[in-house]
Every structure is written in C-alpha cells, then in structure tokens.
Structure 1
Amino acid sequence: MGEVRSPVHSEPTDPDVDLRVPAQRRELARGQWPVIAVVAAGGAIGACARYASALLWPTATGAFPWTTLWVNVIGCGVIGVFMVVITDVWAAHRLVRPFFGTGVLGGFTTFSTYAVDIQRLVDGGHARTGLLYLASTLLAALAAVWAAANLTRRVIEWRQS
C-alpha cells in the first residue's frame, strides 16, 4: 500500500498567485517586507509606551493590576476609534493599519502581561482578585471597543449632517 500523507494546511493565499512558480513566490514575499517592517516598528513603539506606563504606575505585589487593565482598556478604545476612521472616513495608505492597529496598539495592549498578572495573583493567594481582574479586563475591554466605535460613528454622522 502507498503512504498516506496528511493534507498540508497553509495560510490563505491569493488565488492568482501560483506558489510553485519561484518568481511569483519572490514577488509575494517582497510585498510583505514593508508590512513586516511597519508592524515591527509600531510594535516597538507600543511596547515602549506600555513599559513606560508600568514604570510610571507600578503595581504592588498582590494588588489589583490597574495599570495593565487601563492599558488594555485604553488600547481597545483607541482601536475602536481607529477602525471606524480608517474604514468609514479615511482611505488610509495600506501600511497605516498594520503600523498602528497591529503594531502600535498590538504592542501597547498586552494579553501576556494580563495572563501573567492573573497567574501571579492566584499563586500569591489572591485568587478572588485574579478572577475579578480576569472578568473586569475582559468586560471593560469589550465595552471600550464597542463604545468607542459607536461614539465615533455618531460623531462622524453628526459632523456630516
């Protein structure tokens, strides 16, 4: 019997690009370098801003991590405004969204610190605080993106009328 191979799963690609053709593979890769560069640059800026906020407003051991909560909530609010503006108002350059949305805001907001904060709280005997932090961050972040996007849409409609 012949060998049975599992199917190879790949990322979605442009149906007009044949990745078996070396020239088309190179063209696809070349077009991604600017995106990678702006995401990296934006991520560095966002991560530095988050780190600066943690230095300015440190959290004591076992205390509720307000700084990380507010960083995530503010970042989600800004992404709500940003996505409405670049989709409904402004025809942004193709690198604006990866730079600011993925890079800056992705570097600024932090799921990893959020998860580590929860783990430290639970391990330190502050399970209730950890659970409160887990739920409040989730709810506040979702509310922030929803409220910011809706408020931005209303402001845009008001200004256009």
Structure 2
Amino acid sequence: MKQVIIVFVGGGLGSLARYCVTRLSANRLMKFPYATLTSNVLSCLIMGLFLGYFLQKSSLNENLKLFVITGFCGGFSTYSTYTLETINLYKDNHIGMALLNILINFSLCVAGILAGMYLSKLKLA
C-alpha cells in the first residue's frame, strides 16, 4: 500500500508540473502543441537523468525509483494528450503539422532520455 501512495503522490506532482507548463505556454493561438512537447521532452530528460543515476547506484531505495520514474515522470509526460493533439491537427487538415508533431515528439523524447543518462554520468563538482 505504501508504494501505491508513493506513485500517487509522484504522479500528482508530475501532473501539476504538466499543468504549470501548459499554463505558462506563451501563445495559445499557435496551432502546434508546444506545451505538450515541452512536458514530454522535460519528462524524458528527467527520466534519463534518474535512470542513469539509478543504474550507477543500484543500492538506491526502490520507493525513490517508483516516485520519480513511475509517479512523477508518468504524470508529467502526456502521451494521451500528444495523441489527441496529433489527431486534431490531422482532422483540421494540418497533416504536415501532425506528422511533424509525431517526428519531433519521438526524436526529442528519445534524445531527452539519452541526454539525461549521459548527463547523469558527468561529475558535477
């Protein structure tokens, strides 16, 4: 039961962070869903940082992993919103933007995880 609460709290904080990114989105008149892209890429960067750190420190508490990776990053990233926005772009006849959204989200999210894992290995003294 304790682990369920840990994931619940992490997910709530991640969802709150996603909401804040959306609220801070500068121009709501733009067609491209920058707020969702930002949330997804930042979530992947954070996930990569922690995955890299967890791989180096195998003795870390499993609850911390659940809180950050499953909870926070799961709540902060938003695959369902990304998918809906892509479908809406397509339905609104912005097919190029829909395809660009798919390409950019995938590419930057993979790059975010890899960059986070790389950065976690740097000795920042």
CA distance in 2 between partners of 1:60 and 1:122 (Å): 18
Per-residue Cα deviation, 1:46-97 (whole angstroms, up to 9, x for no partner)? 0111012112216636611111111111110111110111220373222101
Match of 1:54 in 2: 22
With structure 1 as the length reference, what TM-score do the two structures score? 0.71
The structure whose Rg is larger is 1
CA contact (8 A) 1:62 1:126 kept: no
Match of 2:42 among 69, 74, 78: 74
* Greater RCO, 1 or 2 (C-alpha within 8 Å, sep 6+): 2
Query: Residue 108 of structure 2 aligns to which amino acid in structure 1?
Result: A
Runs (5+) with no aligned partner, structure 2: none
Identity of paired residues, percent?
27
Instruction: Determine if contact 1:59/1:67 at 8 Å carries over to the other structure.
Output: no
Q: Would the alpha carbon gap of residues 65 and 53 (structure 1) be closer, same or farther in structure 2, given more than 3 Å must change?
A: same
- Looking at secondary structure, tell me which structure has more helix per residue: 2
Rounded Cα–Cα distance in structure 1 between residues aligned with 2:116 and 2:81: 23
CA RMSD of aligned residues (A): 1.9
User: Are 2:51 and 1:83 equivalent residues in the alignment?
Assistant: yes
Q: What stretches of structure 1 of length at least 5 have no aligned partner?
A: 1-32
| Aligned 8 A contact 1:59 1:66 in 2 | no
2:87 match: 119
Corresponding residue SS for 2:62: coil
Give the number of equivalent residue pairs: 125
| TM-score of the superposed pair, with normalisation by structure 2 | 0.90
